[in-house]
Every structure is written in C-alpha cells, then in structure tokens.
Chains A and B, each alone.
Chain A
C-alpha cells in the first residue's frame, strides 16, 4: 500500500496541517481530557425512543480535535476496517472546516453518520490511537468526531454528493440493501456503472433499519444516506428476492454482468431448550423487526408486539443490548440480561453495556436458561436458569462456561427474547447449489477480491462472516467493489 503511505505523508505536509500543528504545543493537547458525550438522562431516555447520545457542540468537537497529535505514523487508520483518513478529517474539524471534514469521511466511508454511531471504536480506531498505545490515556474520541462531522453536514443542508464518472453502460446487481450492499452501490455508481440494488423487504437498509433501534441509529439518518445514493443514480427495487422473484441466471439474461451478494445473516438461532416455542418467546430478529421496522409500539401501525413487565433477553452482544433496552422503553419493570459468561466477556459495544446499566437493565451474568414454563394459554411465565462458572478458554480464546450442577432456580418472566446470534440467510445459497459454502452456510470468497466460487458472483458482510458488524460489512463491500471493478474491466475488455 505504498501509494497510500505517500499520500498520507504529503497530505500531512500541506500548509494547513503544518499550521495547525504549530498552533498548539503537544503538551497542551495531551493535557486536555477526553470529551464527554452529551446524553439523555437514563431515567428519561429509558422510556423514550429518541437517540441517547445528543452529539457534541461545535466547541466540544474542536477542542476534542485539538487532542489529536496528527501523528507521523497514524496508527488509528490501521485500526479502521475501511481505512478512513482519520487525521485529515479530525484536523478539518480543528480548523473549523466541518463540511470539508465530512467530505474527507465520504471519500472512504459511504455511511459516516452510521459508523460514527455504531462502530465498536474501542476495539478499532480508538484502540490503535497513540494515546492508548503510548500514553496509556483515553483515546481521541474518533467516533464522536465522525458523528459530529456527518451530522453537521446533514443538518447544514449542504450534503456533498461525490462525483460520478461517465456512465459505462455496464449493469451490476447488488443483492441486499444492508451496509455491505450500500457500500458496494456507493462505489460502483461513482465509477460509472448502472447499479440496481435488490431488497427482499419493503424498506431499504437491512439491519440498519430492522435491527438497530431508533435510540441508537434513527432510521431518518439511514434514509438520508440512501437518498444520497438515489441522487447519484442507484436504482432500488424493494420486495424483490433474488433467487425466487428472479434467479441470478434470469438477471444475467436481463443484462447484469456482475453480482454482489449481501443478503446478511438473517436466520435466527434458538437454543433448543424445552419450552422455547411457547408464546411470547421471540428471536431478537422478530422482536426488533416488529418494533423497529414495523413500528409495532406505535398504535397507529397495525403490526402488534407483545413486550411485558418481566422481560428476559438471552445473550450478551449488541443485539441483546438493543433488545433489552427496547423492552425497557416498552414499559418493562424488570429488563434482564441472562448471559452465560461474565460482564467483562460480553461482546457488546462498551458504550451499549454502560448505557444499559444506567437504564437499570439487570445483568444476570454466568446464567443460562435450561427450560421455559407457560400458563394454560401457552404464554411463557417462568424460566428455569442454571448458574455457570468459567472454565478453560475455548477455540475463540474466551473462557468456556461450565454449568454448575444443582444451581437451578426460577425467574418469573412474561417475555423472552433469544439474542444468541444469527446465521446466514439460506435463500441465496439454496438457489445456487454451485456456490461454495461452509458448514455454517456462509459463502466462501477470495479474501482480497471477495469473488465467490461462481464467476461473476461476489459476496461480503454477514453472509460471508456470520453475524458481525456494520463496519466490517462495509469494508467487505468496498473490497468487493474493487474486485468487481477489476473483474469487469477484464471481462468487458475482452468483448
């Protein structure tokens, strides 16, 4: 990646960057404490669906941007799955050029307002920040700053639309309108391709719309990003399931030359514990889809949801946090997390766990359900839970939970959400038997080009990784777009 290193170096030497560095001594910068995000009060926000994080003010953002030392070797960039030019966008904020900062973000990241909100920065860019690595201090709040710049641009009405090259007449199909698909669409449309995104649901955005709740990622923000893609000429077809509504072969006949499969990990996992099919026991996908996509909590919408007073969510990831915090907002007295490992080992984003604790979510760590009971109508009313202790690490490196014999006890519940993970949605692999897939149903791809075993079919995101994050899906999407671009240049060149 020598070109990028050279580019970074020469950018850093530009006059405006040098001026900024000179304007404040390193010692002054490092003496500033990391900014604290303005948040809704826990007891207010756990009964509404508005965003918890309120955003930084311009003063706060500039001050935080000053903390960034504009390192000679910016290790933060290596921590970012899509390689955002972090020092450059932060220095634009310090300079007061907020719209310019947003432009920098958009050079690499199609959905900066999304990533600034949902990325696990604490294990990505911020973990690689010089402050953490060398100074053992709180990192620069890169995530908050990304959100600031993206929000500023959106609210200013001056949204920059990237330039689109001359159309080349080559049609590409993107299957799935989640973060992976949107990232592919964003790049391919810029390079002059005709892009059609096919989406099975009636709304565009995938997990961004149905999975992540309003109080973390408002759908309105996702819609602004989608609107930008439409402005650039991306065509969206909802209610279209590639594999059944039309097959890939049929789309080839209609002129599509390359395909990206971003159909996601939309297949729920259940524990197969006795009583799991009683009423009011949901997969997290069902619970969140009813509330987020179908607006079930809003009486003006027809879709119902049941969310009671004693809600237990099984799991420890972001989806479990989303589910349990949603249940609080839907009126639960007790919103409980039942997770088989310890608090420290929970894979959820650190900020989500903190927010959940503040919102009075009860954490029952080192516990696992073994049976559900119901009343005469079949509505769940009790869960039998067994305590766990941690044993030796398993293949993932985490200590394995071991059941403690005789430790079972019962907890009254009226709603259960099973949020233990998701598997790849089987529709596309089932419709293409020639596609190489793993035992878990994920599509096998070349790790650099994201090309699958079938020529012209690329894939990325959860359908390749199993349930993962938005940013990793976007990184895959951008890689796949480059792979598709190379493939098509060769294919069309031969014609």
Chain B
C-alpha cells in the first residue's frame, strides 16, 4: 500500500480509538448506579477479582473500580459505583449513550478459585458488587457458598437477587434492622462460623468492615481473602500510592493484589492512608454539589 494512503487511514483510526460508550444504566438505589460499558477487549479477558482504572474526561481523575460482571460476547463490562465524591458522583450522573474517555484493564490478579468445601462470602455496602462474581465463581467450582450481606439499611442492600441465585444460603444484616436481621456483618458471620465448618472466607467492603470481618474469621482459623480498594493513580504498579503492609512487607494493591490474606493486612495503616485526601475531597465535593444546585 502507498505510504501516504496508509498514514492517512491510520490518522483517522487514531482519532476514534479508545472511547468507551455507556450502553446501559440502572440505578440500584439512591446512591448506587450500575453502568454497562463497551470494552470488548477487557470483557474478553476479565475474570472474577479483576478491576479497571477509569478516567471520565481530560480533566478527570483516574480511579479504580472492580469489574462486577462482563459479557464477552456483547463486549461489555459492568461497573457498580457508589457516589461518595466528585468523580463517582459524575459517573452517577452520566447517561446511557455517554462516553468515558479512558478505561484500562483488566488489572490486578484474578481470584484464585478452587473447590475447598464451604466458602463464606461477606459483603458490605457497595462491596457486594465485587463480591458477586467471586461468589458465583466459587459456586460454579462446586463449593457450598454461604453469603452474608450487610449495609446500613434496606435501601443499601444491592444485588440481593443475583447473590441469592449463586448462594446456598444468604443472611442479610442491616444496622437499623429495616431488612433481614439487625446487626453487623460480623454477627451474621459468627452465626455461620459457630454452627458449621467453613473452609474459606472472602470479605469485601469498607476497610473497617473488612478489618472486623477478618478478626472474626481469625478466631476460627478460617483462611480469609480480603479484596482491597486503596487510593490509586496509575494502577499499573508505577507509583506506590496503593501500598499496604501485608505480613510486615510493603505490597502494591494494584499489581500484587487486589486480594491478600486478610489476617496479615495492617488495616489501621490502610485506613490511615485511605484518608490522605479526605479534607481536600470533602471541600471539592462540597463545591461540586453547590454547583449542581443540591
């Protein structure tokens, strides 16, 4: 082919590559939204446990989000987002048909799935979304799956039907008792751990929740996996923003994780690091909400 013609064609394709269209949007409750996004290559390679880094537009931040589901045939991935700050709120407000500039993945190590016997899955709040594919995978591998879902109130329990479909038993805990049983995730977990042998536990949710879930399973010597969600910038192992201490050594959540042995994580340090931009974030979010007219 003539070189100039080739260059012309490539310039055209350079211009349109890389934008990811939102093909579906569903609001799961007041603060959580599910977005299905065009990302054929990621959809093809994705396994349970993987995450992506996403950037809405040229002024946006890069943020990590676990891939809650994927459809390799349709070429789409599903993200579940809770609005807690500027970027997540912007995503919450986006519509079907909008484009996200940058989505990269699949990142991190996939969950190691095997047949161990009985698996206890404990998910808190928006952590239920990344827990779903893992619970599914363990169920498909022939395990008995017992799921404990926890949130502040009934509205914040998400994906209940999907979780029920891949669990042998499901226990729902709400802080205020508006749904299921009143109590914390650890109460639900204790109920299970006291009555039967559990071979493996998986916990995903706010850092403080994972800390106490981990302390709970430790009492019963149940090997436990926690999936961490720290601050990230590049997500490819380059910057160290996501570093945590596991078993006394520094690990990067983006390339060594996101899952680690829950009993070896220094949660207090992780919680401390998670708050690094809290003041700035609160201020920025406040200004953002004002602009929205809330």
A residues lining the B interface (CB < 8 Å): 164-167, 169, 192, 194, 200-202, 230-241, 244-246, 266-268, 270, 272, 276-280, 282-283, 285-286, 289-290, 294-295, 300-304, 306, 377-378, 425-427
Complex contact B103–A279 (CB within 8 A): no
Known pairs A268-B240, A277-B273 / 10 extra A-B pairs, C-beta < 8 Å: A202-B101, A244-B105, A277-B243, A279-B276, A289-B234, A289-B239, A301-B60, A302-B59, A302-B61, A303-B61
Q: How far is the CB of B123 from chain A (nearest CB, A)?
A: 25
For B188-221 the 0/1 string (1 means CB < 8 A from A) is: 0000000000000000000000000000000000
Would you call A167 and B1 a contact (CB within 8 A)?
Answer: yes
Chain A neighbourhood of B14, CB < 8 A: 230, 235-236
Cα(A158)–Cα(B277), bound, Å = 46
17 A-B contact pairs sorted by A residue (CB < 8 Å): A164-B7, A200-B234, A202-B101, A237-B17, A240-B104, A244-B107, A266-B238, A267-B238, A277-B245, A282-B240, A283-B240, A289-B239, A295-B59, A302-B60, A302-B87, A303-B61, A427-B255
Query: Please, how many angstroms separate the alpha-carbon atoms of A344 and B78 in the complex?
Result: 55
In the complex, residue of chain B having the shortest beta-carbon distance to the beta carbon of A245: B41
Q: Is the interface of B mostly helix, strand, loop or mixed?
A: mixed
A-B contact count (CB 8 A): 145
Q: Considering the chains assembled together, what is the distance between the CA atoms of A166 and B4 in angstroms? A: 9
Q: Given A230-B14, A237-B17, A245-B42, is A378 in contact with B104 using a C-beta cutoff of 8 Å?
A: no
In-complex Cβ contact of B18 among A237, A246, A304 (8 A): A237
Q: Nearest Cβ distance between residue B235 and chain A, in whole angstroms?
A: 9
* B1 and chain A: residue at smallest CB distance: A167
Interface string of B251-273 (1 = CB under 8 A from A): 00001000000000000010011
Encoded as 1 (CB less than 8 Å from any A CB) or 0, chain B from 71 to 108 comes to 00000000000000011000000000000011111110
B25 lies within 8 A of chain A by Cβ: no
B114 within 8 A of A: no
* Residues on the B chain within 8 Å of A277, using CB: 243, 245, 250, 269, 273
Q: What chain A residues lie within 8 Å of B45 (beta carbons)?
A: 244-246
B residues near A (Cβ < 8 Å) are 1-4, 6-7, 10-11, 13-14, 17-18, 41-42, 45, 55, 59-62, 86-87, 101-107, 233-234, 236-241, 243, 245, 250, 255, 269, 272-273, 275-277, 280-281, 284
Which residue in chain A gives the minimum CB-CB distance to B235? Answer: A200
**A287, closest chain B residue (CB):** B239
| A276: B residues at CB distance < 8 A | 250
**Chain A proximity of B210: nearest CB distance (Å):** 18
Minimum CB–CB distance for A441 against chain B, Å: 11
Query: Is there contact, CB below 8 Å, between A378 and B237?
Result: no
Query: Are the CB atoms of B276 and A306 closer together than 8 Å?
Result: yes
B3 touching A233, Cβ below 8 Å: yes
B42 touching A286, Cβ below 8 Å:
no
Shortest distance between the CB of B70 and any CB in chain A (Å): 13
In the complex formed, the residue of B with least CB distance to A263 is B236
Chain A positions within 8 Å of B106 at CB level: 244-245
